[in-house]
Amino acid sequence: MRWLPSQALERLARLEFAARGAVDGFTAGRHRSVRKGASSEFAEHRSYHPGDDLRKLDWKLVARRQRLYMREFVDETNLRATIALDCSGSMSYRGEKAVNGLSKFDYARHLAACLSYLLVRQQDAAGLVTFDTAVRKYLPAKSSPAQVRQVLEIVDGAKVGGETDAAAVLHDVAERIPHRGVVFAISDFFGDADEILKALHHFRFRHHEVVLLHVLAEEELTFPFEQMLEFKDAESDARLHVDASAVRRDYLARFESWMEKIRRGAGEMSVAHEILTTTTPFDEALSDVLVRYRFKG
């Protein structure tokens, strides 16, 4: 499988994703649900109603207050995850140090394929959205084994190119997802940081858990260029001749300011922000993300 190579499958076999917050699933699973159920984690007390299961009476509380109180527990559930994959022109950049010569887009496609496989394997539901200036494909989250094949078909057929409007599209995606769950946004997020953060706030307002997989090439982080070069905008085809060494300091200052705004804003909303560079194998990078996410939760 092109987007799920054997070494990635071997690494994924040792991993799992566990939501940090409550999710709204539909079958018993490993995640905390917004619904009440019969797991071992206590949720709250409520008054007894005729017909309630007497085994759930809290007899200690009954003895103290001389009234009947029932114990309710947090239900364990599976989750619905939506993977949003950026297909805009800037994702086509292929850094010289990229593992196996992968462009950011191909790297992101591997991540999307791996996440869908991992989620469905652990009996969670995975869906996929591809976008640039608008949603191009929307596959609602499902947990059937056939879902992975459908995700892989969409990932394989996705084309990169054109401009992007990630913020507007993410607002659209937030409205389309019918139940609270987890959103994995895979993008370079090039655009106005304030608008990106507003879109993330929309997800949080609708009670979604959000993980940003911020895919970048090493050159975008370090700007190692030194001589006169022609830079081509991958989305508009505009060209600019510059002395790279002369603009390097200004570029890095602006880039870090932009990145810090996204990093800080995401942190304030409890949105996970993970920077992944194409110099690290995608399966290794995803493994590290999942480990960090699990132990920060």
Residues 63-113 pLDDT 10s: 888 888 777 654 444 788 999 999 999 999 999 999 999 999 999 999 999
CA distance 238 to 259: 24
Class of domain 6-22+78-296: alpha beta
Q: Could you tell me whether strands 182-187 and 209-216 are parallel, antiparallel, or unpaired per DSSP bridges?
A: parallel
Residue 111's pLDDT is what?
Answer: 98
Q: Could you tell me whether strands 80-86 and 125-131 are parallel, antiparallel, or unpaired per DSSP bridges?
A: parallel
Residues 200-239 pLDDT 10s: 999 999 999 999 999 999 999 999 998 888 888 877 778 8
Tell me the mean pLDDT in the region 169-178: 93
Residues with Cβ within 8 Å of residue 267, at least 6 apart in sequence: 273
CA distance 152 to 122: 17
Strands (E) across 94-208 are located at 125-131, 135-142, 182-187
Locus of tokens 């200036």: 133
CA distance 265 to 198: 9
CA distance 103 to 230: 19
Cα-based torsion angle of the residue sequence 257, 260, 262, 267 in order, rounded to the nearest 10 degrees:
-160
Q: Which helix (H) or strand (E) holds 294?
A: helix 282-296
- List the chain domain ranges: 6-22+78-296, 31-77
